[in-house]
Amino acid sequence: MLQVLYSGEARELELSGTRQGLLAFGQLLRGKAGNCGLSENPRPFPYERSLSGVLFREDPERATVSIVTEGQILRIQGGREALDLLADNVESFASEADASNHCHVDFPTYDYVAPESDPLVIVFMK
80-115 pLDDT per residue, tens: 999 999 999 999 999 999 999 999 999 999 999 999
Q: Mean pLDDT of residues grouped by 10 in the chain (126 residues)?
A: 93 95 97 95 93 97 97 97 97 95 95 97 93
Closest C-alpha among 81, 87, 82 to residue 114 = 82
Mean pLDDT of the chain: 95
The sign of the CA dihedral 77, 81, 86, 91 is positive
